[in-house]
Amino acid sequence: MGSPPNVTALLGEWSRGDRTALSQLLPVVYAELRRIATRQLRSERADHTLQPTALVHEAYIRLVDQRHVDWQSRAHFFGVASQVMRRLLVDHARRHDAVKRGDGVRAVSIDEASDLAASNQIPILALDLALDRLEQVDAELARIVELRAFGGLTIEAAADVLEVSPSTAKRQWRVAKAWLHRELAAEGQP
Amino acid sequence: MTDERWPRVKALFEAAADRPAHERDAFLAAETGDDEQLRRDVESLLASDASDTSLLDQLPAAHAPVLSGLLAEDWTAPEPATPAAGLPPGLRLGPYDIVALLGAGAMGEVYRARDTKLNRDVALKVLPARFALDPDYRARFTREAQVLATLNHPNIGAIYGLEASNGADALVLELVDGPTLADRIALGPLSGADALAVAHQIADAVEAAHEKGIIHRDLKPANIKVAPDGVVKVLDFGLARVWDGAPHVDLAASPSLTASGIGGQTLLGTPTYMSPEQARGQSLDRRTDIWSFGCVLYEMLTGGPPFAAETISDSLAATLEHEPDYSRLPADTPAPIRRVLRRCLEKDRKRRLDSAAAVRLEIDDAIASAEAEANTRASTASRRTTAGVVGLVSALAVAALVTWALMRPAPAAPTLPSRFSIVPPPGRPANVSGSARDIALSPDGRHVVYRFGGSNTAGSPLMVRAIDQLEGQPLAGVDGAYAPFFSPDSQWIGFFEDGELRKAPVGGGPTVTLAAVIGGPLGASWGDDNAIVYATDAPETGLWRVSADGGTPARLTTPDVARHEIAHAFPSVLPGGRGVLFTILATGETEAPQVAFVDVTTGRRKTIVGGSQAEYVDVPRPSGKTAGYLLFASAGTVRAVPFDAKRLDLLAMPVPIVEGLMTKPRGAANYAVSRAGTLLYMSGTADQTAPRSLVWVDRKGHEEPLGAPLRAYGTPRLSPDGTRVATEVYDRNTDIWIWDVTRQTLRRLTFEPDGDGMSVWTPDGRGIIYESGRPPNLYRRAADGTGTVERLITSAMGQWPTAITPDGTFLAGFDPPGLIFVPLARDGARPAPVADMRFPGAFADFSPNGRYVAYQSSESGRVEIYVRPFPQVDGGRWQVSAAGGTRPVWAKNGRELFYLDASNAMTSVPVSLSGSTFSAGKPATVFETKYVQSNPSRHYDVSADGQRFLMIKDAPASPGAMPASMVVVEHWVEELTRRVPATNAP
């Protein structure tokens, strides 16, 4: 399998405290996510939206040697992938904000997309900033938000990654949502 | 707030949130005391919690399309090559084109292949690679194969030769279709007439081989084919010996060719049919085949082998020590046949019949004496019964054995298969979203469950229909279900819903949660041991097992990543619950799914056959016995094959029993079987490669086919003169084909391995511009296929073309996330999108005068159609659609703009292009939606006169069938056996 051999090792280094590993991991994971996304778009072409969670899962399977990865590294991988998703969306929103076309932070590439997001849009940039603040207050909560909201993981999958029970994850998610919602409301955002 | 306060705030919030609202104030007051700030902090969080925070839950779904675009817009590294498992169809070995995998047996994989020289189909038995590594063995093998190739007899499956090319060695064998004698016996004992007819031919074959000094050594019902015309073919003559001496024979992988060391010797053969001298590991002569012949004849007459036992050692012991139980023979078995049997099954080979010729003579005697008896009995009855056995063998045998048939109890009339359809009522269509099976059939065959209505992303309600009722009832309280399945007692329906595995009583009642599951549903099965085995697409996990009363799931299998396995899916628990059939899904488009088995207690796995969604059923037979069948899906068909569930052996070549089956891209197949042998399947289409037709639709909605063959068409584009259609055809790759409207021919135009599509005609009608490669870049080539392919753009970002200005100067394209406009250079300059002409949108089309561009955009929050001036794209913007619109196309007269409205109905808007202003009238529906439309393409075009629309229509799976309707087939087993006239006579 043509997977970059260093991802498993990088995950290990990162979980052992080497923060520079993350900067090496992000581009690899990013490239793989793109590769998978492109292949899926090309091969299926159907009524078809890529599900971030499926992308992340496939990237994980392709990149990580699962016989030599511990649970902590696994959690980190999903964290990295969720961060990639977050950065993509935030960068996209920034670019779009700068262009200032139309009336908002929205540039959905293909039609049906906007049906979902249309009337009740989460302000990505504001959310990003609020999430940074939440990280200072409670890093655990910020991680579950990243996994859920950007990585697309279900409560159960996030619990699995964070090694907490689903009920704990559910509770954390509820607190995090209440906190973020309050934070965004304070800025006049929905 | 400070960090020190937060843990306390959080704890109080969680505690308060768990309490009823009216208790919270008192609780907070008591807990916070004087700390006003703390109380306000918690209260504000509670207030926030009470408001709608669901947006955050929806975020991934809402942004999935954006992410799709962002992720797909770049391509930096080539796809790693993944080796294919087995030999792919289309591969050529010498003059042989691989057509399909027929089965994987003891001696390697067997493929159907086309002999391109002699123009006939053959079977290729591919030798395991390790055989090629031992030169001595290989040389011996080659010599033996040459000897075997000299065997030429109508009752022997011929060996044509040995082919060594393309890195693989294969034996080239005569392809014999039809079931094996083992399949036939699995349905019950043969009549005396049939048994002798078959035995006579086997003896003939063995005699011919013995004359050449070739001993079979592994004669058994599974090695004997009975062709539809009644002709018997004995297969694999001498191969047991050829394979003998192989460096290793994997015991687990070779259940029918068993090697075990006894006294330092290697044993080859099948224990049940092994002669005593073979069991002892002694040297063999032709009398070993005589013994095995006796075993086969005994089994034909009684339905079971004479020396059957649970284990190999018991079987060997029985062969060496016990006498066959002759009392199992039908009471009316004639004496000559009993004598033949005893003389074949002599343990001391010196006392055994010593030649096949002698055996054949004995059988002829038996037939003759039966005939003599028949002549003395009522000859008037013979005409009546002859029909049942016509075409068996010689007239002699027929005449003789009619009598025997007469003396036996009258058989029941054959049961005819019956079919009836279940068509979901209008307004409640079947739902086939997701990657799992959408239908279920109760084990008692009395209830059908299917998914209906609902959404494509969040599951659906379930419809429960009793077979004997005309209408179904939705299962109460269920609205987001996937992958329904039944309990063994047919009383419960299990399903996935909201990230949980649940069950509900068939008649309705409270839903019970069994377990939380991670990942998207890939099927579940409820075993006799009251455990449910289920599968999801969560990474790193294969099958899980959980009690049907709920509990903690336990891992049953883990995909082997080193072998490219990405998921284990579609479990089906075998009777008794000890083993599970499942499907291995592998990464990469070339790796086909495989049906495999896992033993629940030992975890031992075995791959059985290429295909997906396997089911096993023990079908009750009129004889009172049962016959085991493995069913699996492959290429839109359900195939059935007699199956030994203990040894996990296919007992014959799989035979298609249902075609036009709805299958899904990941291998889920919409069929189900009951224990009574009823089969339920869904026809219709769920995937992109399903056949479609190209049709003209006029403004009144009248359809007229173009006459093009059924293919998976997409993005059809009329040439400017209307004489040709450039269209995508989806198969393994997407390519562009040209349908010639006047000549009525379909010709493939592009051949790129990465796929090509999204074509646009150049204004002169001589060329097309299309996207190809990874990332999809723009290419141009002549529409008649001549000349070379010209790459217009080389960029890391992919783009798709959608239109060209009438003067050919600009091309409009989609480059996620927005529109691009590319000047088509005429003087050698490389084309590149103009930077300041980008804006959000998709599906641009130019007005006939080239001065306006219509496109769609979601800038208002809903996708609408807009028009801008061109090329001054910032010089204005007019909204054309009123309530949503996608995929605009200009009428060639410039006075009309067409698009699809929010419900995909064809819509027309009158427009005016006079002078420098644009104005649009009121949209009106032309015809309603019933044609294919899907992202990321526009699957329609408009004729030059604006009066006809070129649409793509899903072809019904079979003539007259409704899409996504279900068919219940009863007695399909009888249908299967009917294809074998020789063994079908009662």
Q: Are B781 and B767 in contact (CB under 8 A)?
A: yes
Indicate the range of B314-323, B525-534, B761-770 predicted with least confidence. Answer: B314-323
Provide the residue count of chain A: 190
Burial of B395 (0-12, 13-18, 19+ CB in 10 A): exposed
Q: Are A82 and A147 in contact (CB under 8 A)?
A: yes
A42, A60, A122: residue with CB nearest B59: A122
Residues A105 and A124: their CA atoms lie apart, in Å, by 8
pLDDT band for position B735 (50/70/90)? confident
Residue B485 has pLDDT above 80, yes or no: yes
pLDDT band for position B134 (50/70/90)? low
Residues B336 and B362: their CA atoms lie apart, in Å, by 7
Chains A, B: CB contacts within 8 A come to 261
Inspect the interface and report whether the beta carbons of B936 and A110 lie closer than 8 Å. yes
Indicate the range of B262-276, B394-408, B592-606, B739-753 predicted with least confidence. Answer: B394-408
Residue B285 has pLDDT above 80, yes or no: yes
Rg (alpha carbons) of chain A, rounded to whole number: 17
Q: What is the pLDDT of residue B135?
A: 63
Report CA dihedral (A116, B757, B735, B724) to the nearest 10 degrees: 120
pLDDT band for position B950 (50/70/90)? very high
Inspect the interface and report whether the beta carbons of A34 and B71 lie closer than 8 Å. yes
The answer to whether residue A86 neighbours chain B at the CB level (below 8 Å) is no
Residues B363 and B657: their CA atoms lie apart, in Å, by 36
Residue B263, token pair as written in the block: 């006294």
- Choose the mutation target among B53, B79, B770 for the interface with A, i.e. most A CBs under 10 Å: B53
Q: Which of B656, B657, B678, B682 is nearest to B669 (CA)?
A: B682
Residues B184 and A78: their CA atoms lie apart, in Å, by 54
Q: What is the pLDDT of residue B133?
A: 55
Residue B903 has pLDDT above 60, yes or no: yes
Residue B95, token pair as written in the block: 């003059």
DSSP B221: G
Instruction: Identify which has the larger pLDDT, B512 or B271.
Output: B512
- List, for residues B636-668, the tens digit of each pLDDT value: 788 888 888 888 888 777 777 887 788 876 788
B430-516 and B692-954 have identical folds: no
Residue B402 has pLDDT above 50, yes or no: no
Contacts of A50 in chain B (CB under 8 A): 64, 67-68, 71-72
Residue B464, token pair as written in the block: 């429960």
Contacts of A122 in chain B (CB under 8 A): 55-56, 59, 62
Inspect the interface and report whether the beta carbons of B67 and A2 lie closer than 8 Å. no
Residue A2, token pair as written in the block: 């043509």
pLDDT band for position B440 (50/70/90)? very high
Q: Which residues contact B565 (CB under 8 A, 6 or more apart)?
A: B559, B584, B585, B586, B587
Contacts of A57 in chain B (CB under 8 A): 519, 537-539
Inspect the interface and report whether the beta carbons of B67 and A122 lie closer than 8 Å. no
Provide the residue count of chain B: 986
Q: Are B475 and B462 in contact (CB under 8 A)?
A: yes
pLDDT band for position B260 (50/70/90)? very low
Provide the sign of the torsion angle of the four alpha carbons A77, A78, A83, A88, taken in this order: positive
Cα angle for residues B137, B140, B146 (degrees, 5° grid)? 140
The one-letter amino acid code at B382 reads S
Superfamily (CATH) of domain B85-175: Phosphorylase Kinase; domain 1 (3.30.200.20)
Residues B95 and B111: their CA atoms lie apart, in Å, by 14
pLDDT band for position B850 (50/70/90)? very high
Q: What is the pLDDT of residue B218?
A: 83
Residue B692 has pLDDT above 60, yes or no: yes
- List, for residues B174-229, the tens digit of each pLDDT value: 888 777 888 888 878 888 778 888 898 999 899 888 888 788 888 889 889 887 66
Query: Which residue from A minimizes the CA distance to B78?
Result: A35
Residues B290 and A13: their CA atoms lie apart, in Å, by 69
Helix and strand totals (H; E) in chain A: 9, 0
Give me the sheet containing B842-846, strands edge to edge. Answer: B842-846, B852-857, B864-869, B878-879
- Choose the mutation target among B70, B689, B758 for the interface with A, i.e. most A CBs under 10 Å: B70
Contacts of B53 in chain A (CB under 8 A): 177-178, 180-181
CATH of domain B692-954: 2.120.10.30
Residue B589, token pair as written in the block: 């488009």
- Choose the mutation target among A3, A29, A33, A42 for the interface with B, i.e. most B CBs under 10 Å: A42
Contacts of B817 in chain A (CB under 8 A): 92, 107-109
Query: Which residue from A minimizes the CA distance to B856?
Result: A111
- List, for residues B748-761, the tens digit of each pLDDT value: 888 776 568 889 99
Burial of B301 (0-12, 13-18, 19+ CB in 10 A): buried
The one-letter amino acid code at B955 reads A
Residue B522 has pLDDT above 50, yes or no: yes
| Secondary-structure class of domain B177-358 per CATH | mainly alpha
Residue B801 has pLDDT above 80, yes or no: yes
Contacts of A174 in chain B (CB under 8 A): 14, 17, 49
- pLDDT means per 10 residues in chain A (190 residues)? 53 65 68 65 45 66 61 71 78 60 33 32 79 89 88 80 86 92 72
- List, for residues B715-732, the tens digit of each pLDDT value: 999 999 999 999 988 765
Inspect the interface and report whether the beta carbons of B56 and A175 lie closer than 8 Å. no
Query: Which residue from A minimizes the CA distance to B563?
Result: A1
- List, for residues B343-384, the tens digit of each pLDDT value: 999 988 888 988 888 888 888 777 776 666 655 554 444 433
pLDDT band for position B404 (50/70/90)? very low
- Which residue is associated with the tokens 């991670």? B518
- Choose the mutation target among B935, B938, B952, B954 for the interface with A, i.e. most A CBs under 10 Å: B935
Q: What is the pLDDT of residue B590?
A: 44
Report CA dihedral (B869, B873, B874, B876) to the nearest 10 degrees: 20
Inspect the interface and report whether the beta carbons of A182 and B62 lie closer than 8 Å. no
Contacts of A167 in chain B (CB under 8 A): none
The answer to whether residue A53 neighbours chain B at the CB level (below 8 Å) is yes
Q: Are B708 and B652 in contact (CB under 8 A)?
A: no
B71, B537, B540: residue with CB nearest A37: B71
Residue B410, token pair as written in the block: 């009258």
Q: What is the pLDDT of residue B186?
A: 81
- List, for residues B311-337, the tens digit of each pLDDT value: 566 677 778 778 888 888 888 888 888
Segment 132-171 of chain A within 8 Å of chain B by CB: 136-138, 145, 148-152, 154-157, 160, 166, 171
pLDDT band for position B806 (50/70/90)? very high
List the domain boundaries for chain B. Answer: 1-51, 85-175, 177-358, 430-516, 692-954
Q: Which residues contact B67 (CB under 8 A, 6 or more apart)?
A: A37, A50, A52, A55, A85, A88, A89
Q: Which residues contact B308 (CB under 8 A, 6 or more apart)?
A: B272, B315, B318
Contacts of B813 in chain A (CB under 8 A): none
Residue A166, token pair as written in the block: 């689903």
Contacts of B843 in chain A (CB under 8 A): 111
Query: Which residue from A minimizes the CA distance to B588?
Result: A39
pLDDT band for position B984 (50/70/90)? very low
Query: Which residue from A minimizes the CA distance to B755?
Result: A42
Instruction: Identify which has the larger pLDDT, A63 or B487.
Output: B487
Inspect the interface and report whether the beta carbons of B13 and A182 lie closer than 8 Å. no
Inspect the interface and report whether the beta carbons of A47 and B934 lie closer than 8 Å. yes
Q: Are A153 and A159 in contact (CB under 8 A)?
A: no
| Residue B871 preceded by cis peptide, ω within 30 | yes
Q: What is the pLDDT of residue A102?
A: 36
Burial of B376 (0-12, 13-18, 19+ CB in 10 A): exposed
Residue B211, token pair as written in the block: 């004359």
Residues A44 and B766: their CA atoms lie apart, in Å, by 30
| Residue B816 preceded by cis peptide, ω within 30 | no
Residue B346, token pair as written in the block: 């002599």
Query: Which residue from B minimizes the CA distance to A124?
Result: B59
Contacts of B64 in chain A (CB under 8 A): 49-52, 113, 152
Contacts of A154 in chain B (CB under 8 A): 499, 518-519
Residues B675 and B574: their CA atoms lie apart, in Å, by 11
Inspect the interface and report whether the beta carbons of A31 and B76 lie closer than 8 Å. yes
Chain A: nearest CA to B670, how far in angstroms?
Answer: 19
Mean pLDDT of B672-692: 74
Provide the sign of the torsion angle of the four alpha carbons B220, B225, B231, B236, taken in this order: negative
Instruction: Identify which has the larger pLDDT, A70 or B12.
Output: B12
Query: Domain B430-516: which topology?
Result: Thrombin, subunit H (2.40.10)
Mean pLDDT of B96-112: 69
Percent of chain B scoring above 70 in pLDDT: 76
Mean pLDDT of B426-433: 76
Residue B848 has pLDDT above 90, yes or no: yes
A34, A38, A45: residue with CB nearest B730: A45
Query: Which residue from B minimizes the CA distance to A49?
Result: B65
Segment 7-26 of chain A within 8 Å of chain B by CB: none
- List, for residues B601-634, the tens digit of each pLDDT value: 888 998 888 889 999 988 776 677 778 889 999 8
Residue B35, token pair as written in the block: 């700390």
The answer to whether residue A100 neighbours chain B at the CB level (below 8 Å) is no
Cα angle for residues B579, B585, B590 (degrees, 5° grid)? 140
The one-letter amino acid code at B436 reads A
| Residue B775 preceded by cis peptide, ω within 30 | yes
Inspect the interface and report whether the beta carbons of A113 and B714 lie closer than 8 Å. no
Residues B463 and A88: their CA atoms lie apart, in Å, by 41
Residues B637 and B662: their CA atoms lie apart, in Å, by 8
pLDDT band for position B962 (50/70/90)? very low
A38, A102, A157: residue with CB nearest B775: A38
Inspect the interface and report whether the beta carbons of A137 and B3 lie closer than 8 Å. yes
Residue B562 has pLDDT above 80, yes or no: no
Residues B526 and B487: their CA atoms lie apart, in Å, by 5
Residues B516 and B924: their CA atoms lie apart, in Å, by 49
Inspect the interface and report whether the beta carbons of B566 and A61 lie closer than 8 Å. yes
CA–chain centroid gap for B235, Å, is: 29
pLDDT band for position B408 (50/70/90)? very low
Q: What is the pLDDT of residue B774?
A: 52
Reduced to 3 DSSP states, what percent helix, strand and coil does chain B have, rounded to the nearest 5?
A: 20, 35, 45
Contacts of A148 in chain B (CB under 8 A): 56-57, 60
Chain A: nearest CA to B129, how far in angstroms?
Answer: 21
Residue B681, token pair as written in the block: 């399947």
Residues B752 and B127: their CA atoms lie apart, in Å, by 33
Residue B873 has pLDDT above 80, yes or no: yes
Q: What is the pLDDT of residue B392?
A: 35
Inspect the interface and report whether the beta carbons of A45 and B62 lie closer than 8 Å. no
Residue B213, by phi and psi: left (phi above 0), alpha (psi -120 to 50) or beta? Answer: left
List the domain boundaries for chain A. Answer: 6-186
Q: What is the pLDDT of residue B86?
A: 53
Burial B497-532 (b: 16+ CB within 10 A, else e): bebbbbbbebeeeebbebbbbbbbbbbbbbbeeebb
Inspect the interface and report whether the beta carbons of B65 and A116 lie closer than 8 Å. yes
Rg (alpha carbons) of chain B, rounded to whole number: 35
Rounded mean pLDDT of chain B?
78
